Amino acid sequence: MVRYTALNGLYELEKTIGSGGFAKVKLATHVATGEKVAIKIMEKTALGEDLPRIKLEVEALKTLLHQHICRLYQVIETESHYFMILEYCSGGELFDHIVEKNRLSETDSRKFFRQIVSAVAYMHSLGYAHRDLKPENVLLDKEENLKLIDFGLCAKPKMGMQAHLYTSCGSPTYAAPELIMGKKYLGSEVDIWSMGVLLYALLCGFLPFDDNKLENLYKKILSGKYEEPNWLSNDSKKLIKSMLQIDPAKRITIHELTYHPWITAHSMKPVSFVQQTKFEKDEEVLSTMSAICGENSADIWNKLVRSDRTDYKTATYLLLLDRKLRGLSLKVATATRSYIKQEMNGANVPREIVINNFITKLDNSPRSRKNNARSSVNDVTYNVLPKENDKNNFTEPYVPARKRLRSKELDDVTSPVPAKRQPENRTVNTPTQSLTPDSRAPQASTPGSARKVMLGLERGLNRVRHVLTPKRRLKNENTDPDEPNILSGKGLSNVSATCSGCPKYVLSKLRRALRRKGIMCRQKGFILQGETEEFFSEVKKDPLKPISSQNSCSFELEVCLLEISPNDKRLVGIRRKRLKGDAWVYKRVCEEILALTAEDISTDPEGSSESKCPI
């Protein structure tokens, strides 16, 4: 593990829970309190033109204090890195929750949407527009409360929310028509449109406007026509329609949403929020801080109110405050007590000196020697767009660990990209925030019907079936490259079972399927790693269309043994993992590769005998 000296003694780094083009997100423990946090680590040299967006996100999160917005605890800046210490949301992305449930009930959708309305109404009241609202940018905590993330594309116009913006940004499938046409727009109105798409996704399980080709997607958005499934209630249809209005002036406002009958159904109160920008003073938390630092509460508070979130003491206070808000007891972490005890016993140093040393560590978090790296969030627009001003090119965050909502054609089919839960150490896509802007180019169409492919996987004589339980690899998994790993219980997520009993046979058929699709792969034991650049090379034939890295992906396929229950015979399965790149491309690749593999196994004349071969 790479050592980051700026975090030494402050945070204990654990596993990586997210990664991107220039950043990684690690789970960590805050030493003083023992609380879990997420640390977004970014190398300055890799940021390039995206540096303003990082500064923008930091400044926005310092201001925004809401129960449904991910909390920023501390920012540490060194000469080479940025470290954003953020609230850890163990429930994963809202997107994964939708995929896991296929679609949400109206009651569950209302619960989540009320929280989104509350957070967005709060942002708008302070003059902020998010501009990239989507299920991938909404996390769940362990109590399944929503937390908005990724404010790198947010805007705070100098003249207020009624001032027009001009930067076309966000995600195309959630973009309002005025953004598609490159017109000036109001941040509040494009957020309302995105919320309409988001609510539709919650209730339906797929997107209202979706297409493999960007130009077709834009035409659908500009038409404003979308399917209304028969399971949608009339009230749901009306609410979605009020948000997905082509004319921005006809769209429902955020204030009207807070009182909408669908929002307040079943005797629920209108959505409300507290317009707060400063964290509250809590005497009990200050007393606990005093026990840690050895200072009196008044002095601690005076320093906190002048804090700009760059010091460790503020992070300690906010973590203790959040712990109290969750109804948990306040306590000094064992590591802190051990530190003080060890220092006192080791050199017979008086307790006062040891405490003062700990205070020094709290007050002197590493940061950059340069203080000219601050930026305001009051700009009307941000000059970080590509040089080409083509209306068909969208400034979109590069999200290498994202999945797109499934197509409508797959409505009655189990998704091949099941949900994940962060705390269970899944090896599948982990949540990360949108990091860099990029332009999405048209993607090649998938040959044949995705529905038929998936039906073949699901129902083709039960030869391939998807196991969609939470994922955890066994602690005693095999390290011998000549033997496959054994998965059981909660280790069966993102795994497709086969009808074969021979892992080496399945591995050979998997390699053959990859070759048939023109995908070169590297093998290590029973793991195959491949990239899709050659597979989708036809997209690159048009030199006028910029190809972003989102049109390709790298992935990992592992042949393993599945132990469904102790008394059943072990099956041979294929575990899927996306390493980076576009989630929709990854989904299509998995569908087709697994379908070809299943076809090879079922049609091979030696299949019956091979399925019984020993490892």
Task: Give the catalytic positions in this structure.
Answer: 132
**DSSP code per residue over 197-233:** HHHHHHHHSS-SS--SSHHHHHHHHHHT-----TTS-
Tell me the C-alpha distance between 208 and 226, whole Å: 5
On whether the CB atoms of residues 420 and 471 are closer than 8 A, the answer is yes
- Distance from C-alpha of 445 to C-alpha of 596, rounded to nearest angstrom: 18
SS3 410: helix
Give me the count of residues in the chain. 615
Residue type, 321: L
Name residue, tokens 């660990």: 401
User: Hey, what amino acid is at 399?
Assistant: V
CA angle (107, 113, 119) in 5-degree steps = 145
Helix, strand, or coil (residue 264): coil
Burial of 150 (0-12, 13-18, 19+ CB in 10 A): buried
> How far is 93 from 136, CA to CA, in rounded Å?
6
How far is residue 534 from each of residues 21, 44, 216, 497, 591, measured CA to CA in Å? 20, 31, 24, 27, 17
Residue 480 to residue 467: CA distance in whole angstroms: 25
Contact 290, 297 (CB under 8 A): yes
> Two tokens at 414?
């189990």
Task: Tell me if 379 sits within 8 A of 410, measured CB to CB.
Answer: no
- Between CA 487 and CA 473 the distance in angstroms is 6
- Rounded Cα distance, 212 and 484, in Å: 36
